[in-house]
Amino acid sequence: MSRTYEQLKAEVQRLQSEGRVNAWPTDEERIDWAYGNSKIENDGVTREMAEQAVARAPSKAR
């Protein structure tokens, strides 16, 4: 079954309103995303570099 963007968006919003999904990613999720996406482009990127970048960036979750 394929769902449309609007259906998926409505489902995420429902889960957020029930407290089952965070509205904002945690710092750990942000680090994982930054590291994973950066590592694809540059093998020289380390997890420590991603941690430092996330620590410097503003976060709505904090």
CA 12 to chain centre: 14
What's the rounded Cα separation, in Å, for the pair 40 and 45?
A: 9
Residue with tokens 């509205």: 23
Q: Is the pLDDT of residue 61 over 70?
A: no
H helices present in the chain, as ranges: 5-17, 27-41, 47-56
Residues 11-39: pLDDT tens digits? 999 998 998 988 788 899 999 999 999 99
Distance CA(32)–CA(38), nearest Å, equals: 10
CB 13 within 8 A of CB 21: no
